[in-house]
Amino acid sequence: MRYLFQLNEPDLLAFNKNWGWFLAWGIILLVLGALAISYSMFTTIISVIFLGIILTASSVIIIIDAFQFWWRKWGGFFIHLVTGILYFVLGVMLMKLPMLGSISLTLLIAIFYILLGIFRITYSLSFQLPKQRWRLFNGILALILGILILAEWPLSGQFIIGLFIGIDLLVCGWVYIMAALSARTKLRSGG
């Protein structure tokens, strides 16, 4: 199979030498994934609240930008000001009503996972990396998760976000572990 991108020799050697860090990261992701699945409703609430915090913080930056740069450039000023206010309102709503927000966000998460799956599949087919079949599997799984979210929406919106985040973390952790073990084997064998 011909790959679009290949690691050069120094990068491949550095990857192989640092296999322990990749293994540790993979184990951490596996543990976080198991916790996220075990407490999927809590993971959903935390995810929605975190998004609310990000939107609220972004609103402050956008509103400051509206007054700093767009002041007296009336079309741009009002667009930025209204955008900042909408971000603020949405962020506060998500922080105050995370379960209701999760049902609405389920649709966005489904679209995210579908796009993420497409990106990961494309990435795994474009680069020659250790254990890339696992990367391809990771992309296919993300795509399937996005489709499953759409199929269950809106009924399972209160826990499905946390569940699927946990599954994705588990698979990402497994990908890191497999790549690390492959690098360790290559380092020991000298190739």
8 A C-beta contact, residue 101 and residue 48:
yes
pLDDT at 12 over 80: no
Stated pTM of the model: 0.63
- In this prediction, residue 5 carries a pLDDT of 67
- What residue type is 26 in one-letter code? G
- Provide the pLDDT for residue 187: 62
φ, ψ dihedrals at 135, nearest 5°: -65, -40
Distance CA 44, CA 6 (A): 37
User: Mean of the pLDDT values across residues 96-113?
Assistant: 88
* pLDDT exceeds cutoff 60 at 191: no
Rounded to an integer, what is the distance from CA 39 to the centroid of its chain? 18
Residue 190 has pLDDT above 80, yes or no: no
- Using the predicted structure, report yes or no on whether residue 159 has a pLDDT greater than 70: yes
35 within 8 A of 168, measured Cβ to Cβ? no
168, pLDDT greater than 70 = yes
Would you put residue 130 in left (φ > 0), alpha (ψ -120 to 50) or beta? beta
Cβ 156 vs Cβ 101: under 8 Å: no
12's CB contacts (< 8 A; 6+ apart) are: none
Quote the pLDDT of residue 71: 78
Instruction: Please give the Cα distance from 165 to 59 (Å, whole number).
Output: 26
At 186 the pLDDT is 67
pLDDT at residue 172 above 80? yes
Structure tokens, 8: 């050069």
Q: What is the mean pLDDT of the chain?
A: 85
Closest by CA to 48, choosing from 5, 91, 88, is 91
